[in-house]
Amino acid sequence: MAAPSLKFKVRHVSPRVAAEERQRLLSDPGFGRIFTEHMVRVRWDEAHGWHGAELVPYQPLTLDPGTAVLHYSQAVFEGLKAFRQASGGVAAFRADAHASRFRNSARRLALPELPEDTFLEAIDVLLDADHEWVPEAPEHSLYLRPLMFASDVSLSVHPAPDVTFLLIASPSGSYFPRGVKPVTVWLSEDFSRAAPGGTGAAKTGGNYAGGLLAQAQATAQGCDQVVWLDSHEHRWVEEMGGMNLCFVFGRDDGAKVMTPALTGTLLPGVTRDSLLVLGRDLGYEVEEGRISVDEWRDGCERGSLTEVFACGTAAVITPVGAVKSAHGAWMVGDGGPGPVSMRLRKALVEVQRGIAPDPHEWLHHARVSSRD
């Protein structure tokens, strides 16, 4: 492999959090509440390109109120997880796929593309410093959050001449501490997440900000999550909240797993892609296609559509138990988690934790050096 294009300057802090306190925090980390001791920062500007790569103590940012991202939202992010391995050590899941999607998101937001080797080196440097913050418990992980934003000070609208990349990490607990529980979803016909030519395929905060009102509407309807339909007809199913959707037709070994094709308005999920590969490995027929709301309801009523689940890095697989819209409501199967969903979930989690073999080389093993 080529040498990393950037050399990272490493500034360790002596731990602010004592070992016992860290163990206490890691026993029930929740999601996105606690952060590790360090972060990575890399700068970019027009004159110097990428430079100033360093590991520094985790700390607040000081931003001028005129900083461009606060006004025009030129920013992208990623979300991936590092897992403690059954054989010891720590590995990040599909870090290369996240590096490549981060570049694609940046291109769409007119941000500079961070080289993939720098993205991976940032992860290695942070995991080396903070590997003790990777929780041990099954289903727990260290959530890695790379982000990049326009850091120039200017109220004029233009692609940023000055950009900051950060990598922070947050220990994360099980999404379902009391067992996998299906969600009820609300089909949004008043709002759209993404439209052709828009930013739907990029991981950018504006897509989330634009979705909050629909999520609030779903909550007001007694639902857990919002399902996004195509913006033109509000007929074709796209995604659920910040996760992709999969539909299981038939049963047992004859089941077919279908997910909406990537039309440009969907976010190309790494979990979605991984499950398509694992589904095929397990002998299921897998397909990228399209499904309308009418086909979803009719399939459930006739019994041909047996399971529906959402998938993403945070929760892996979340079964969908019931559906509501302005025109009615229906159940999926018996409303409980389906066997194909749970089999796929187990298969993926076992690869992530190094319990099952990794034939597709999805694990990025961290080089953890000993400093004591």
Q: Interface residues with ligand PLP (CB under 6 A)?
A: 79, 203, 239, 242-244, 267, 269-272, 312-313
Measured from the Cβ of residue 243, the count of other Cβ atoms closer than 10 Å reads: 23
**Helix or strand (DSSP H, E) at 78:** none
Of 318, 333, 322, the residue nearest 222 (C-alpha): 322
Give the nearest distance from C-beta 20 to ligand PLP in angstroms: 33
Give the nearest distance from C-beta 337 to ligand PLP in angstroms: 19
The residues that bridge with 165 in the sheet, in sequence order, are 42, 148
CB nearer ligand PLP, residue 72 or residue 208: 208
198 burial (CB, 10 Å; 0-12 / 13-18 / 19+) is: middle
CB nearer ligand PLP, residue 242 or residue 321: 242
CB nearer ligand PLP, residue 154 or residue 263: 263
Residues 6+ apart with CB under 8 A from 271: 243, 244, 311, 312, 313, 316, 317, 348
CB nearer ligand PLP, residue 12 or residue 145: 145
Give the nearest distance from C-beta 241 to ligand PLP in angstroms: 7
Give the nearest distance from C-beta 162 to ligand PLP in angstroms: 26
Structure tokens at 257: 């797993």
Of 14, 20, 21, 55, the residue nearest 38 (C-alpha): 55
Give the nearest distance from C-beta 357 to ligand PLP in angstroms: 21
Give the nearest distance from C-beta 194 to ligand PLP in angstroms: 8
The residues that bridge with 190 in the sheet, in sequence order, are none
**What sign does the dihedral 279-336-294-214 (CA atoms) show?**
negative
Residue with tokens 């992208």: 76
CB nearer ligand PLP, residue 79 or residue 321: 79
Give the nearest distance from C-beta 12 to ligand PLP in angstroms: 30
CB nearer ligand PLP, residue 312 or residue 337: 312
Rg (CA), the chain: 21
Q: Specify whether the CB–CB gap between 68 and 201 falls below 8 A.
A: no
Structure tokens at 290: 């399209």
Q: Specify whether the CB–CB gap between 297 and 269 falls below 8 A.
A: no
CB nearer ligand PLP, residue 29 or residue 79: 79
CB nearer ligand PLP, residue 151 or residue 274: 274
Give the nearest distance from C-beta 7 to ligand PLP in angstroms: 29
**Helix or strand (DSSP H, E) at 172:** strand 162-172
Q: Chain-centre distance of CA 238, in angstroms?
A: 16
Q: Specify whether the CB–CB gap between 90 and 331 falls below 8 A.
A: no
